[in-house]
Amino acid sequence: MSSSVLSSVPAAARLSLPVWVGPLITLGIAFGVIPFVGTSYLFDAILTPFLALSLAALGLNLLTGYAGQLSLGTAAFMAVGAFAAYNFNLRVEGLPFVISIGLAGLSAAVVGIFFGLPSLRLKGFYLAVSTLAAQFFVQWALTKFDWFSNHNPSGVIDAPPLVLFGITFGGAVGRYLFALTVVTAVTLLTLRLLNTQTGHNFIAVRDHELAARVIGVPVLRTKLLAFAISSFIVGVAGVLWAFAYLRTVEPHGFNLDRSFQILFIVIIGGLASIRGAFFGAALIVVFPLVLSRVGSFLLGSYFDSGVLDMSQRIVLGVLIIAFLILEPRGLVALWDRVVRGGKAR
């Protein structure tokens, strides 16, 4: 597996250990250790949302980081995934939940292709603005037509239990393991994809569209495929967000703020890096918790939820600006530099 596409691991670090060792150890701990030592607070408030956001960021990173197409409609594709899974599960008797997830991803992919059509003519910020249409349209449609939420008057519906291959994933640990399994599988598939011709085509279109066209990359098809695959992954992330984390399905959680949050995860974590999605998501999930602890420790009762909310936005904004200026390649690059520095000494 050529690692150049996956990450910017410096040559020295790559030589000393195979690239798969780190992820393998991480996976081993995630599957084999954490379920036995973690508290339900850790699973419900930190790890499960972290996994769902990581997956959404991975999907967006495929589109923005690898294929170079900016999108601000990520939350909309999550919503499509969540509502599609809910409806397939509800309306098709006896459909295994795995299939529901797959169909949810496909539904998101179809919507993604549709809203990706402007990418054939638009680039950069203009494209980003046109993907906002997805954000507003999807949210409007899900609120307007209550068929999607099974005519539930509140528009908020409870998610059914998670069953995968006959195993019910109940409780905090169960939902965490469910999310972890799905995220691992999708991440591995994405890694595989990036090492094929198609993955190279994404990068070729991003780095030099004309040269890509000249060597025969089907540029338009490649862009739409990037939208489709990205939206598929984001749709699956939406299923995790609604079913494993919130356990309710409602349109309001998938608003523009969420889209931006995922974009920030990608920027802070590192564009065009699989690890970046996870690094960025970890920061975004853990950072508010740390901030609230530190804030209440330092300022006591002055640090109420309003102040917390404000200071969160301010610090996050500063962080993003700092990253864009100081380390545009994100946390991943920072991490690699620390690792390399440690080895040099």
- Give the integer Cα–Cα distance in Å for 229 and 258: 20
Nearest to other proteins of 159, 203 (CB atom):
203
Q: Considering the complex, what minimum distance in angstroms separates the CB of residue 228 from other proteins?
A: 10
Q: Give the type of residue at 309.
A: D
CA angle 58, 230, 274 (to 5 degrees): 25
- Give the integer Cα–Cα distance in Å for 3 and 24: 15
Element (H, E) at 48: helix 48-60
Nearest to other proteins of 37, 210 (CB atom):
210
Nearest to other proteins of 197, 305 (CB atom):
197
Dihedral angle computed from the Cα positions of residues 141, 259, 85 and 40, in that order, rounded to the nearest 10 degrees: -130
Nearest to other proteins of 224, 284 (CB atom):
224
Strands annotated E in the chain: 157-158, 162-164, 167-169, 248-249
Q: Considering the complex, what minimum distance in angstroms separates the CB of residue 19 from other proteins?
A: 12
Nearest to other proteins of 208, 313 (CB atom):
208
Nearest to other proteins of 7, 261 (CB atom):
7
CA angle 135, 136, 140 (to 5 degrees): 120
Q: Give the type of residue at 122.
A: L
Nearest to other proteins of 142, 217 (CB atom):
217
Q: Could you give phi then psi for residue 159, rounded to 5 degrees? A: -85, 145
Identify any residues that bridge with 163 across adjacent strands, giving them in sequence order: 168
Q: Considering the complex, what minimum distance in angstroms separates the CB of residue 8 from other proteins?
A: 8
Q: Considering the complex, what minimum distance in angstroms separates the CB of residue 267 from other proteins?
A: 16
What residue ranges bind other proteins (CB under 8 A)? 2, 4-5, 8, 11, 189, 192-193, 196-198, 200-201, 203-204, 206-208, 210-219, 225, 229, 272
Q: Considering the complex, what minimum distance in angstroms separates the CB of residue 277 from other proteins?
A: 16
Q: Considering the complex, what minimum distance in angstroms separates the CB of residue 123 from other proteins?
A: 17
Kindly provide the b/e burial profile for residues 52-87, where b requires at least 16 CB atoms within 10 angstroms of the residue's own CB. Answer: bbbbbbbbbbbbbbbbbbbbbbbbbbbbbbbbbbbb
| CA 108 distance to own-chain centroid | 14
Q: Considering the complex, what minimum distance in angstroms separates the CB of residue 186 from other proteins?
A: 12
